[in-house]
Structure 1
Amino acid sequence: MSMGWLLVEADDWESKRARGMATPLIEFSDEDKLGTLQPHDDALVITLRIGGYNVKRVLVDQGSAMEVMYPDLYKGLKLKPEDLTAYDSPLVSFEGKIVTPKGMIRLPIQTGSNVVEVDFIVVDAYSPYIAIVARPWLHALGAVSSTLHQKVKYPSEGRVKQIIGNQAMARQCMMSAISQRPSIEPSTSAKNGL
């Protein structure tokens, strides 16, 4: 009895796969590291089409629960305060400072033929990145990211497509962030020679 059920299930799966409805398997292998500088600990920085424009220096942060837009993108898209909806929960910047957002805006992000709309929190703070995309975008796209492989992979049209990271840009962003960091007072233990 259960054998027949398995056969029906397998036949159903095959028919879905033939119609292109099955989700392709997303995986990473050593081949995906080809073309990357290894070993590394670079962030995953990509170019995305946001609001109809190709936007460079977009950080993929799967540890974040919200997409963030910084002043360069806000100005580049010619957004105005009246384009934003209220968002009053404070955020913590990379430097650990509390930042009050200017507001929120819903914008499309296009990857190939896929378009996903996400809510960007607009902040007026320094960042070496133009924007940060996070779990809401990754989940809506069905994407999986790998900093090790410097790729975002996502299912589309029955295939796995990918966005390749830019390690040189990631390193430039890191250097920019380090150069913008305010000097820090030596700790008490450092002053005491510990």
Structure 2
Amino acid sequence: MLKNAFLTLLSLAIAIGGGGGSVWYALKAQDGVGAIRIGQWTAFPEIGTQAADPYSKARVAREGVLALGRAEGLSFIAERDAGGDQLRRECAYMIEGGFPTARFWTLYAADQSLGVVDTDRPRLAALQSYQVLRQPDNSVIITVGNRPAPGNWLLTEGFGRMYFVLTFYDTPIASSTGLSDVTLPRIVKAGCNA
């Protein structure tokens, strides 16, 4: 009798724990149902539409973000550099390359909750398309780190994981046909503080 009760409770604990853990993992992972990957960047193009999958809807509800509709824009999130390592706040990076056509885009370093990384100088923790210096070929080179750099510089401070969030507003890449030939900038690690 006691053995049956124990086995029943153990089975329930495994089922509830395993189910909850798998849902947490599915919502936390940047890859998954409905995701597209371009280089190091991942996006969920259907997230703000009626056709969004249940995991995307749950992700929006959990994070409390306002999802962009297909006609409004598209957000890409990067959690790894070109070498496959997780992005760290104590490391310096170069984000280099061309940006797709858009009326406006923003880039910021984010913490685990995808909010802007806390810094003493919050206005330096984000960049937007109207303020960046461009190369002659219209590409952009952005230095990311805790030490000021000439040109485009994005401030990050502290230690731990971080993400880059790149959002394009009013862009043709948000349509299903626009994603096939899109290239996004590469994220290259320049070094880390010991």
Common topology (TM > 0.5): no
Between Structure 1 and Structure 2, the one with more helix by share is: 1
Larger Rg, first or second structure (1 or 2): 1
Task: Please report the TM-score for the alignment, with normalisation by the length of structure 1.
Answer: 0.27
